[in-house]
Amino acid sequence: MQDVNWTALTIFVLLFAFITWLGFAAANWRRGDLDLLHEWGLGGRRFGTFVTWFLIGGDLYTAYTFIAVPALAFGAGAVAFFAVPYTIVAYPIFFLVFPRIWYVCHKHHYITAGDFVRGRFGNRWLALAVTVTGIVATMPYIALQLVGLQVVIGALGVSGTGLAADLPLVIAFVILAAFTYSSGLRAPASIAIVKDLLIYLTAFAAVIAIPIQLGGFGKIFAAVPAQKLLLATPGPNTTGAYSAYATLALGSALALFLYPHSMTGILSASSGRAVRRNAALLPGYSFMLGLLALVGFFALAAGVAGLPEFAAGFKQFGNNFAVPALFLHSFPSWFVGIAFAAIGIGALVPAAIMSIASANLYTRNIHREFINPNPTDKQEAQMAKWVSLIVKFGALVFIVFVPTQFAIYLQLLGGIWIIQTLPSVILGAYTRWFNDWALLVGWAVGIIVGTAMAAAVNLTPTFPLQIAGFTFPGYTALYTVILNVIVAAVLTPVFNALTAQRTPFDETAASDYYA
C-alpha cells in the first residue's frame, strides 16, 4: 500500500471527530426520555420530512453502496446500473404501502414489523419468523459497512499486521457503539445530514471534475470496453442478462423497505404525510446513485488498475479499490480526505440504524414475547441498548476474523430471506385474507427453496430457471417470493377449513390504516 497520506488523513480524522461530538450531542436534540424504547429506538417518532429524508437516504445509500456500485460497473459493466431502476421502482411501492403501515403502527404503538405482524395476524410464531429473518438479514449488512470503511482506511495508507491492521476499524466502531448507546436513533439522524451533504459534494465534484480531466464523456465511454457498455445479447432459448437485470431491479425494489433499518427510519417519521413526501423526494438519491455508477466507468477510463502505486490496493481489496484509487489519482489530498470521510461516515450512519433496528426487533418480539412479558419501560429500553452493542460487536468480530467474501455471500442470502416477509408485511397492510399459518408455511418454503437455489449457483444472485426448454436467468429472491405467495394462497382456504375459529384475529381496524 502507498505511504500515509497525512493531509487526507488529518481531514478524515477531523471530520470523524466532528461527527463523534455530534453523535453524543444528539442526545439533547429534540430531547426525550431515552429510557423509553420509542424515544431511544425511534427518536420519539418526531422526525419531520427534512430529517426523515436524510435519515432514510443515509440508511439506504451506505458506504458499501458508494464503494460497491462503481466497483460493479468497473468490473462487470452495464449490469451495475440495475441499482438505478430498482430504487426508482421502490419509491411508488414506498408511497402506496408504507404510509398505511406508519398509520397503523402509530395508532397501536408498534415499533417493529414484528409488532405489526403480531397485531395483524395474532400469531407469535409468524411474528418470530419475521423478526429472526430481519435480524439475520441485517447482520451481514452491518458487516459490509465495515468493508467500505476498511477500504478507505487502507487507501489513506493506514496499514499494518495483526491487531494494528484492525485497530482503526475497532476505534471507529467503539465510537459508533458509544454514541448509539447514549443517543439512540437521534445520533444517526443528525449525522446523516452531514454524511449526505458530504456524499453529494463528492459525487458532483467527481462527475464534473474527472470528466474534464479525462477529456469529456465521449472519451470516457470510448475507453470502456464495448462489452461493458451494454448487456450481453441473449442466446437462443434464453432471456439471458435481460431477465437477470429486470428481475434484480424488481426483486430488490420489493425487498428494500422490508429491511428492519428501512422500517425503523419510516416509523420514526412524525406523520404519514412526511412518509409520502419522502417517497416523492427520495428519488433524488437515485439520481446520485446513477452518478456513482458512472464513477466505475471513470476509473476504467483513467486506467487506475494499471498504475503501480495502486497495485497493492487492488490486490488487497479487488475492484472495491477502484473508487479510492480514482479519487487519489484525480483529486488533491485535502479533497480526498473529505471524500473518504464521506464514505467512512456513510458506514457509521447505516450501521447505527441497523443495530438499533435489530435491537428493537429482539427486545419487542423475542425478549418481551418469549422471555420477559412484562418489563418496565426502562428495562425494555435498557435491553435494546445492550443488544445494539452486541449486534455491532458481532459484526466487527465477523469482519475481522471471517473473510470478507462470506459477508458478501450472506448479504446476498439476506436479500433472498428478507423478501420472504413481504406477504406478511406488505400484503398484510392491505388484507387479512391470508391464514397466518399458511403465511408461515409460505415463508418457510421461500427460505428453504431460496437458500437451496442460491447454493446451487454458488451464492450468486441469479438462478437459471428452466421452463419448457427455455431458460430464464433471474433474481432468486423474486422467484422464491412468488412461490411463497402461491403456497400461502393455496394453503389459506385449507387451513381455514381445518380451524374452528371462524373470525380471524386482528387487533387492527380498517380505519387504522388512514389518517
**Please, which residues have CB within 8 angstroms of residue 408's CB and are 6 or more apart in sequence?**
140, 144, 147
pLDDT at 191: 92
Average pLDDT across the chain, whole number:
90
pLDDT at 116: 97
DSSP 449-492: HHHHHHHHTTT-SEEEEEETTEEEEEEHHHHHHHHHHHHHHHHH
**Tens of pLDDT, residues 211-269:** 999 999 999 999 999 889 888 889 899 999 999 999 999 999 999 999 999 999 999 99
Q: Please tell me which residue, 77 or 403, carries the higher pLDDT value.
A: 77
pLDDT at 8: 92
Q: Other C-beta atoms within 10 Å of 290: how many?
A: 18
**Tens of pLDDT, residues 296-324:** 999 999 999 999 989 888 888 888 899 99
Confidence of residue 515 (pLDDT cuts 50, 70, 90): confident
pLDDT over 80 (residue 1): no
State if pTM tops 0.75. yes
3-state secondary structure of 236: coil
C-alpha–C-alpha distance, residues 183 and 165, integer Å: 29
**CB contact burial 79-109 (16+ within 10 A = b; e otherwise):** bbbbbbbbbbbbbeebbebbbbbbbbbbeee
Q: What integer is the mean pLDDT of 58-75?
A: 83
Residue with the three cell numbers 423478526: 131
Q: What integer is the mean pLDDT of 407-425?
A: 90
Q: What integer is the mean pLDDT of 419-436?
A: 96
Greatest CA span in the chain, whole angstroms? 74
**Tens of pLDDT, residues 343-388:** 888 888 888 999 999 999 999 999 999 999 999 999 999 999 999 9
C-alpha–C-alpha distance, residues 420 and 363, integer Å: 22
pLDDT over 90 (residue 84): no
Confidence of residue 273 (pLDDT cuts 50, 70, 90): very high
- Which of 70-79, 224-233, 330-339, 394-403 comes out lowest in average pLDDT? 394-403
pLDDT at 453: 96
**Tens of pLDDT, residues 439-498:** 999 999 999 999 999 999 998 889 999 998 899 999 999 999 999 999 999 999 999 988
Distance of CA 334 to the CA centre of its chain: 29
Residue 124 half-sphere exposure toward CB, CA atoms < 13 A:
9
pLDDT at 172: 82
Q: Are 355 and 180 in contact (CB under 8 A)?
A: yes
What residue ranges define each of the domains in the chain, with the CATH number in brackets?
A: 6-404 (1.20.1730.10)
**Tens of pLDDT, residues 122-181:** 999 999 999 999 999 998 888 888 778 888 888 888 776 666 667 777 888 888 889 899
